[in-house]
Amino acid sequence: MNMGLTGGIASGKSTVSRLLVQRGAALVDADKIAREVVEPGQPSLRLIAERFGQAVLLEDGSLNRKKLGEIVFSDPSEREALEQITHPAIRGIMKDRMADFGRENPKRLVVVDVPLLYESELGSLFHKVMVVYVPREVQLARLMERDRLGLEAARRRLDAQMDIEEKRKRADYVIDNSGSLEDTIRQIDDFWREHGQL
């Protein structure tokens, strides 16, 4: 079985995926793949430089993520242009890795961490979807602290995504990560007891 894992930015997807992996799940991580497809030498990086200009590259030719982030999170049409370049490549690798894990061990739960699962309408790729939920205020506070962003920059990133309350409504499973880590561990243990062993 595979399960999409999503939520909002800084809601705790990495925290939850780590807990699931510790219990035996396989992990496919879309954010990690998104970094791989823009490494130097990759076709997506060349297309990004053509579309956004050399200013989004660092001196060594790698992507200036901070600079590109500032551009795409302040203008939806720029964000769409970036997504048109990177998303097909990300989706292709994601599907390949899911299929590889499925062949290796059909009984193992494959968790696929996809921040934009609902925004990109990828729900049909997964048997079930888990949403990691925290209220918007908690999400904002954790994002500002983790990425050292100001309030406005953090708000812009949140506003580039579907509202977390809407994601919560669509989920098959919800993990509420607004309490302590121990609280989240308890929920993951309950989930694993019921659904982890196929």
Ligand X SMILES: CC(C)(COP(=O)(O)OP(=O)(O)OC[C@H]1O[C@@H](n2cnc3c(N)ncnc32)[C@H](O)[C@@H]1O)[C@@H](O)C(=O)NCCC(=O)NCCS
Binding site for ligand X (CB under 6 A): 9, 30-31, 34, 65, 68-69, 72, 79, 82-83, 86, 90, 115-116, 160-161
Helix 65-72 × helix 43-52 angle, to 10°: 60
Among the listed residues 72, 38, 30, 73, the one whose alpha carbon sits nearest the alpha carbon of residue 58 = 38
Tell me how far, at minimum, the Cβ of 15 lies from ligand X, in Å. 13
Q: Which stretch binds ligand ATP (CB under 6 A): 5-13, 45-53, 66-74, 116-124?
A: 5-13
The reply, when asked if residue 32 is annotated as ligand binding, is no
**Looking at 35, 46, 65, 146, which residue binds ligand ATP (CB under 6 A)?**
146
* Nearest residue (CB) to ligand X, 26 versus 117: 117
Q: Is 13 annotated as a binding residue?
A: yes
Is 67 annotated as ligand-binding?
Answer: no
Q: Fill in the per-residue mask, 175 to 194: x = in contact with ligand ATP (CB under 6 A), - = not in contact.
A: --x--xx--x----------
Name the residue nearer to ligand X (CB basis): 67 or 108: 67
- Between CA 119 and CA 122 the distance in angstroms is 8
19-24 long-range contacts, Cβ below 8 Å, gap at least 24? 19/184, 19/185, 19/188, 20/109, 20/111, 20/188, 20/192, 20/196, 21/111, 23/188, 23/192, 23/196, 24/108, 24/109, 24/196
72 touches, from ligand X, ligand ATP, none (C-beta below 5 to 8 Å by class): ligand X
Q: Could you tell which of ligand X, ligand ATP, none binds residue 77, using a CB distance below 5 to 8 A set by kind? A: none
What is residue 74's three-state secondary structure? coil
User: Rounded to the nearest 10 degrees, what angle do helices 181-195 and 13-22 cross at?
Assistant: 50
Partner interacting with residue 149 (select from ligand ATP, ligand X, none; CB below 5-8 Å by kind): none
How many residues can be counted in the chain?
A: 198
Residues in binding site for ATP: 10-15
